[in-house]
A and B are shown apart, each in its own frame.
Chain A
Amino acid sequence: MQVSLKTTAKKHKATLNGEIGFAEVAMLHETAQQITRNPKETQIDWSNLTAIHYAGVQVLFALRKSLEEQGYKVQFTEPNPQLYQQLHTFGVWDALIQS
């Protein structure tokens, strides 16, 4: 399972594993919608994610925007070095974590 969601009273924790290709983006989108339907502080743990399609990155951006509009924050864990290098080199990481 590439995307899993744990919800407590205070927050959501979405864990992303392996590779999220274009086919898995729908699952990620569905999870993001679940989060926004019941908005809380959210942590995205993608430390075990090795690759993600840009469509998936867009979902994370959109989730962050939706939650921020409702006054909630999204916290991203450090991605794995390979993914970080890719996101950082092309300016995506910085844009994603800026509040």
Chain B
Amino acid sequence: MDSLMQLFYDEANEMVEGMEQVLLALESGEPDPETVNALFRYAHSFKGNSAAMGFTHLSKFTHGLESAMEVLRKEQRTLTPELATLLLQAVDMIRTLLERTRTEGDVGDPTCEPLLQQINAVINGETPQPTAVPSASAPATPAEPPDVQSAPQYRITYQPAPTLSAEHDPLQLLSELRDYGQVLECRFREQIPPLEQLKTDACYGSWELLYETAFEPAIVRALLELVAEGAEVRIEPLNAPSSTETVQPTATETVVAAPQPSVATPAPTETPAATAATAAVNTAASKGEAQSIRVSTEKIDALMNLVSEIVIAQSMLSSAQTADTDERTRAAITQMERHVRELHERVMAIRLLPVSYLFNRFPRMVRDTAAKLGKKVNLEVEGEETELDRTLLEALSDPLTHLIRNAIDHGIEPPDERRQNGKPETGTIKLSAYQSEGRIYIEVRDDGRGINTERVRQKAIQLGWITENDHPSEETLYDFLFQPGFSTAQQVSDLSGRGVGMDVVKRNVESLGGSISVQSKRGEGTRFLLRVPLTLAIMDGLGLTVAEEHYIVPLTAVVEAFQYESLQHTALFDQYEMVNVRGEFIPLVRLRQFVGLPETDHDGLIVVLEQEGEQIALLIDGIAGQQQVVLKSLEENFVRVQGFAGATILGDGRVALILDVSDLIRRGRQSAERYAAVA
């Protein structure tokens, strides 16, 4: 795919997503002219871009939609649920057509016209008439200027940009002027050569118009300059009131892309159309000074891989230092360490995206799922600006989708049940993200019925996982939810309840080096907490040794380390041990035992690890030091091994396994439960 096409798809996807978000915002009862304008702008830009790429069906459908939205905007119609659903269907249609352009080309869809017809009928307060299909290519209903009677007049000279294209059609641009005012006179100056000399993509005409509009002339300028650089637009006010003149271009000004300050900052009283045009002016203004560039993710990934290799090489260099290394070399290595760290941080920052990139997908899903189940659900989102590695974001999409669907399907009660329980009819799902201790936390919380732990227990008995006499703790019961084949749903729906979801959620999150936990209170709701690393690529680790082997734990999980004296520890059972740390008992995991090495008689060291308020004491032989490590997935070549999150290459070229702190803590929890039972 060439870069232009890729750019088109990138922007197109952003616009489709933007349209969806704006529609959902409007539907949630926040009517705001600027929001409606934003919707219109997305459709308008999408139409132009599609036409430029030669996707006629896509462009035509969006044009029809834009026309409908124009009425919505102009007449400040309320977005009824019916209309919102139709407009969202139209967004889906755009998405479908867009996707088809990748595989089948510009093929269109027979349901486009009927859908537009329905939308127009609803907007116009009519009963949809299937036989009266309006053309999707019908022009937009002209916008009424605020006050046509006293509208100022302008003389406009328009010399289009010299090159024509699918997007750059001067006649079409001129036609759009009619949406904002009245063309009183028009003179067309053609300098078209005979056919033999004609270049079909060259523009040979210019226009002079007498134009009446109550909108600011910046609109005219923006519309005529919007799609192609190089147009010359001259606007002379003929009878403009003095108050307006202050923001007009001078009579002889050849307008270029530079914005007028008074236009770039819209006045509070600015009309919707003017705002749209102002945005266009701002777009034009930004042409000359690119604030950002689009870079393919492949390039960034390649850069990140290279940085990873540099980190390994730098680590090798550091470990090659000996007592004989001279001071200058040491200083150079130290400086290099600093620069490599900064390089890593900066490259990592390029890969970071706000979680809104992911969260924005859910309002629509919640709306549709709730409607399908006859429930009322409000989605609250918090911490959208939290940044996370792009790869992680993509990988979290499926787990979060499943958790949210589950929350709607099983958590949130139907409206009448909620009412009976003294709850508001509308349930709330809160999706939040935050960063803490070098990790990203994503929380899905609902105010539904909560998890029925007794039902979970019964199901576990039924599955033979526990006996009737077992009464595991809530945490253990919640852990069952993540086991393959477990579901307490009494009905299997197409949304959830097949028992194949939560284990996949857990596996996906763990494959990212993350973990998931659940808390629930009967009748009050459930909270799933996902913890993932900031990045999959590089982390600060603490090297631990047992025998000759090196292991790594994330530095963010390390609380303290101290000399272990066997007298300090309290053994409750053979396999369940607790360590007394300043009067507090912490579950002990012997790393030698954990990795299958024989025990020694020397005492070793204790490293206390913590995650989410839970601690574990890890008994090791020694500490090898702190270092940046490049995370390598084991699962690309091996099956997932419990207790290990991955591997890394050490400075001396050896491979070290990275310990999975969540898994260690989970094991330690069993000790804690036994200890609690005895205590």
Contacts and interface: CB of A to CB of B under 8 A. Distances in A.
B157 to A, nearest CB: 13
A36 B652 CA distance: 79
Contacts of A54: 164, 169-172, 203, 205
A21 B166 contact: yes
B188 A91 contact: yes
A91 B51 contact: no
Given A23-B56, A54-B171, A90-B207, A32 B195 contact: yes
Contact of B186 (A33, A62, A82, A90): A90
A29 interface: yes
Interface string A26-60: 10010011001000000000000011111101110
Interface in B188-213: 188, 190, 192-198, 200-201, 203-205, 207
B475 to A, nearest CB: 63
Contacts of A26: 200
Given A22-B164, A53-B169, A59 B200 contact: yes
A7 B183 CA distance: 40
Nearest to A33: B195
A28 B196 CA distance: 14
Nearest to A91: B188
Contacts of B174: 89-90
Nearest to A50: B137
Contact of B137 (A25, A51, A53): A51
B171 to A, nearest CB: 4
Interface in A73-94: 82, 86-87, 89-92, 94
Contacts of B51: 21
B165 interface: yes
B241 interface: no
A32 B192 CA distance: 15
Contact of A62 (B135, B169, B183, B194): B194
Nearest to A52: B171
A63 interface: yes
A65 interface: yes
A66 interface: yes
A66 B178 CA distance: 33
A65 B204 CA distance: 14
B438 interface: no
Contacts of A21: 51, 56, 166
B175 interface: yes
Contacts of A89: 174-175, 178, 183, 186
Nearest to A94: B188
A91 B207 contact: yes
Contacts of A55: 164, 169, 200-201
Nearest to B207: A90
B31 interface: no
A92 B207 CA distance: 10
* Interface residues of chain A: helix, strand, loop or mixed (majority): helix
Interface in B136-150: 137-139
B18 interface: no
B33 interface: no
Contact of A23 (B54, B138, B186): B54
Interface in B153-173: 164-166, 169-172
Interface string A1-24: 000000000000000000101110
B192 A61 contact: yes
Given A21-B51, A21-B56, A23-B56, A90 B188 contact: yes
A14 B476 CA distance: 80
B166 A22 contact: yes
B372 interface: no
Contact of A66 (B139, B166, B196, B203): B196
B187 interface: yes
B66 to A, nearest CB: 15
Interface residues of A, number: 34
A15 to B, nearest CB: 19
A58 B205 contact: yes
B209 to A, nearest CB: 8
A65 B193 contact: yes
Contact of A36 (B56, B190, B195): B195
A95 interface: yes
Given A54-B171, A58-B205, A89-B183, A69 B194 contact: yes
Interface centre among B192, B195, B200, B205 (most CB of A within 10 A): B195
Given A54-B205, A91-B207, A59 B195 contact: yes
Interface centre among B169, B193, B207 (most CB of A within 10 A): B169
A79 B175 CA distance: 17
A86 B192 CA distance: 19
Given A51-B137, A54-B170, A62 B195 contact: yes
Given A62-B193, A91-B187, A57 B200 contact: no
Interface centre among A54, A69, A82 (most CB of B within 10 A): A54
Given A65-B193, A92-B188, A86 B169 contact: no
A56 to B, nearest CB: 9
A63 B193 CA distance: 9
A51 B197 CA distance: 25
Contacts of B200: 25-26, 29, 55, 58-59
Given A54-B205, A91-B188, A86 B195 contact: no
Nearest to B171: A54
Nearest to A57: B171
A82 B164 contact: no
Contacts of B165: 22
B195 A65 contact: yes
A49 B42 CA distance: 29
Contacts of A59: 195, 198, 200
A91 B186 contact: yes
Nearest to B138: A82
A86 B174 CA distance: 9
B135 A58 contact: no
Contacts of A62: 192-195, 197-198
Nearest to A19: B137
A58 B198 contact: yes
A52 B475 CA distance: 69
A75 B166 CA distance: 27
Given A87-B171, A89-B178, 20 more contacts: A22-B54, A23-B56, A33-B195, A50-B137, A53-B164, A54-B164, A54-B169, A54-B203, A55-B200, A58-B204, A61-B190, A62-B198, A65-B194, A86-B175, A89-B174, A90-B171, A90-B183, A90-B186, A92-B171, A95-B190
Interface of A: 19, 21-23, 25-26, 29, 32-33, 36, 50-55, 57-59, 61-63, 65-66, 69, 82, 86-87, 89-92, 94-95
29 contacts: A19-B137, A22-B166, A23-B56, A23-B166, A53-B164, A53-B169, A54-B164, A54-B171, A54-B205, A55-B164, A58-B198, A58-B200, A58-B203, A59-B200, A61-B190, A62-B194, A62-B197, A62-B198, A63-B195, A66-B195, A82-B138, A82-B139, A89-B175, A89-B178, A89-B186, A90-B171, A90-B174, A91-B207, A92-B190
